[in-house]
Homo-oligomer: A and B are copies of this chain.
Amino acid sequence: MKKLKRSSRLIDMTQYLIARPHTLVPLTYFADRYQSAKSSISEDLAIIKELFEDEDVGELNTLAGAAGGVKYIPKVSETRSLQMIEAVCRQLSQPERILPGGYLYMSDLLGMPSSLNEVGKIFASAFSGREFDCVMTVETKGIPLAYVVASYLNLPVVIVRRDNKVTEGSAVSINYVSGSSKRIQTMSLGRRALADGSSVLIIDDFMKAGGTIRGMMDLLQEFNAKVGGVGVLVEARDEQQEETLVEDYVSLAVLSKVDIKNRTVIVKPGNYFEKE
């Protein structure tokens, strides 16, 4: 790369870091890339760090020492997260979203990169302090969300199938009871999809009684893997509902009521925003 002026260097460092979240970039890499002194690079990073924090882009963590460098941690403040989720809740409260069976139509939101990126960044903030080896979800609707979260956390995504497809090779299958329908179902995961002993972040778009997520947790045991965290975009909390099958999870929104007769839906911010 040719020698750059500070202005161009700042632009390049910004795009470079944003494209590589949760990745340690040694200062020497930037020093070589721009043929600049490490002291100049450090000054540049201080300017970027300040702007990223002011504008809710995220944090720049600098590690000193020989193995030191800089790491971009995508993060969004709680205030901004709550604003974004309140907008999502307003959208989800539209009565035309009510589907037979008390379900909510969410596919449009889950298919829109701009909303997914916002929601994904909130999850990435919520889980940024923990270490994971991968993000797991079950097909189908939660996949884009899981992918976005994984992308911000720089982790691979593992997709659990509801059948056993030939293109996954040999697989481990388990049966689980869907909490809401009480039916026995199957889910499976390719043997080579998950390394032994992995710490896994489970992400899904919707949780009712928690049977599906409980199923993924049971599946993890077959791989000697452990649940490092659980995040759901919308949890349904019903007054008559028995206890959910999952105890420790982060939800961004709560669907507290779907009244099919009067066509009203109540969606509020989830437990991530509840203050202890």
Per-residue 0/1 for A97-108: is the Cβ within 8 Å of any B Cβ (1 yes, 0 no)? 001110111111
CB pair B166 A113 closer than 8 Å: no
Give the shortest distance, in Å, between A98 (CB) and chain B (any CB): 9
State which size class the interface on A falls in: 35 or more
Query: Which of A2-10, A85-93, A214-222, A241-249 forms contacts with chain B?
Result: A2-10
CB pair A12 B157 closer than 8 Å: no
What residues of chain B lie closer than 8 Å to A55, measured between beta carbons? Answer: 1, 12, 15
Complex CA–CA separation, A159 to B116 (angstroms): 15
Please judge, given known A-B contacts A7-B47, A57-B15, A151-B117, whether A105 and B192 are in contact too, CB under 8 Å: yes
Measured CB to CB, the residues of A under 8 A from B are: 1, 4, 6-8, 10-12, 14-15, 18-19, 47-48, 50-52, 55, 57, 99-101, 103-108, 111-114, 116-117, 134, 139-141, 143-144, 147-148, 150-151, 154-159, 161, 165-169, 190, 192-193, 206
Q: Which 5 A-B pairs have the closest CB atoms?
A: A113-B151, A111-B157, A14-B14, A144-B147, A143-B143
